[in-house]
């Protein structure tokens, strides 16, 4: 029988790095999936996974077991993703504000030509979905990703994001509305 998360966490809290390794190996793929849904970039998602486990390691003593370990990790990963998205936005704004001749031509290319990750979204639908997700607010995107892709219930999402369930619910509604507006014509034409 595999070591359960609870036992592994208790052992890791007592100083057993082998137990922490078990947790890392068990949750890495799920965290990568979440991070990619959140950031839309493979490299960013990899960074989020590393940063999430580093933060979890440092805060392990504070984990009290009220939520499952997976939910707790998801909360950290969602926050890491949001931090990264905010930093990326700030960088983009600074680049846009810079004088024309000071800009690195290659840095402005991603808007015109898709990055390698985006090229992976080969279908039109995939591109459209990614574009709409990119246009959602941080809260909308996070709540929607956790509900739709990760299957977390609204109460759990509220706990993971530190907001009331109603706030999480309305973020999901807004995200779904925006997705419908953008995708319905495409879906209808395909039917």
Partner 1 sequence: MNHLSEEQLVLYYYGEDGSPDVAGHLAACEACRAQYAGLQRVLNVVDMAPVPERNANYGAQVWSRLQPRLGSRGRGWTGVLWWPARHWAAAAAVAVLMVTAFLAGRYYPHAQPVQQAANTGQVRERILLIAVGEHLERSQMVLVELMNAAPGHALDVSSERDRAADLVAENRLYRQTAARAGDVRVANMLDQLEPVLLEIARGPDRLTSGQLERLRQRIESGGIMFKVRVVGSAVRDREQKITVNQNSSSS
CA 101, CA 103: separation in Å to the nearest integer? Answer: 6
CA distances from 148 to 11, 100, 110 (A): 33, 41, 27
Q: Quick one: which of 44, 54, 82, 93 contacts partner 1 (CB under 8 A)?
A: 54
- Radius of gyration for the chain, computed over Cα atoms and rounded to the nearest angstrom: 19
CA 138, CA 83: separation in Å to the nearest integer? Answer: 10
| Residues binding partner 1: number (CB under 8 A) | 62
Least distance between partner 1 and beta carbon 16 (Å): 5
* 15 lines the binding site for partner 1 (CB under 8 A): yes
* 32 lines the binding site for partner 1 (CB under 8 A): yes
Q: Quick one: which of 39, 44, 48, 53 contacts partner 1 (CB under 8 A)?
A: 53
Sign of CA pseudo-dihedral 149, 153, 154, 157: negative
CA 52, CA 167: separation in Å to the nearest integer? Answer: 24
Least distance between partner 1 and beta carbon 58 (Å): 8
Segment 87 to 126, residues that bind partner 1, using CB under 8 A: 117, 120-121, 123, 125-126
Residue 40 or 79 with smaller CB distance to partner 1: 40
Angle at 19 between CA 17 and CA 21, to 5 degrees: 70
**Residue 143 CB: number of other CB atoms within 10 A?**
29
Q: Exposed, middle or buried: residue 183 (CB in 10 Å: 0-12, 13-18, 19+)?
A: middle
Least distance between partner 1 and beta carbon 76 (Å): 14
* 29 lines the binding site for partner 1 (CB under 8 A): yes
Residue 99 or 151 with smaller CB distance to partner 1: 151
CA 112, CA 94: separation in Å to the nearest integer? Answer: 18
* 62 lines the binding site for partner 1 (CB under 8 A): no
CA 118, CA 130: separation in Å to the nearest integer? Answer: 8
Interaction site with partner 1 (CB under 8 A): 1-7, 10, 14-21, 24-29, 32-33, 36-37, 42, 49-50, 53-54, 57, 60, 64-65, 68, 117, 120-121, 123, 125-126, 129-130, 133, 147-148, 151, 153-154, 169, 172-173, 176-177, 179-180, 183-184, 186-187, 191
């Amino acid at each position: 029988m595999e070591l359960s998360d609870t036992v592994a966490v208790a052992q890791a809290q007592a100083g057993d790095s082998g137990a922490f390794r078990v947790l890392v190996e068990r949750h890495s793929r799920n965290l990568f999936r979440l991070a990619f849904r959140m950031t839309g970039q493979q490299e960013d998602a990899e960074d989020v996974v590393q940063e999430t486990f580093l933060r979890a390691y440092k805060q392990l003593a504070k984990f009290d077991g009220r939520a499952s370990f997976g939910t707790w990790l998801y909360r950290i990963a969602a926050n890491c993703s949001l931090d990264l998205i905010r930093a990326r936005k700030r960088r983009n704004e600074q680049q846009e504000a810079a004088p024309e001749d000071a800009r690195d031509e290659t840095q402005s290319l991603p808007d015109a030509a898709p990055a390698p990750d985006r090229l992976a979204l080969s279908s039109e639908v995939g591109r459209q979905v990614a574009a709409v997700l990119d246009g959602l607010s941080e809260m909308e995107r996070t709540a929607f990703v956790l509900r739709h892709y990760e299957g977390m219930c609204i109460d759990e999402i509220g706990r993971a994001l530190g907001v009331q369930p109603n706030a999480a619910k309305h973020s999901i509604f807004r995200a779904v509305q925006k997705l419908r507006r953008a995708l319905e014509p495409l879906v209808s034409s395909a039917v």
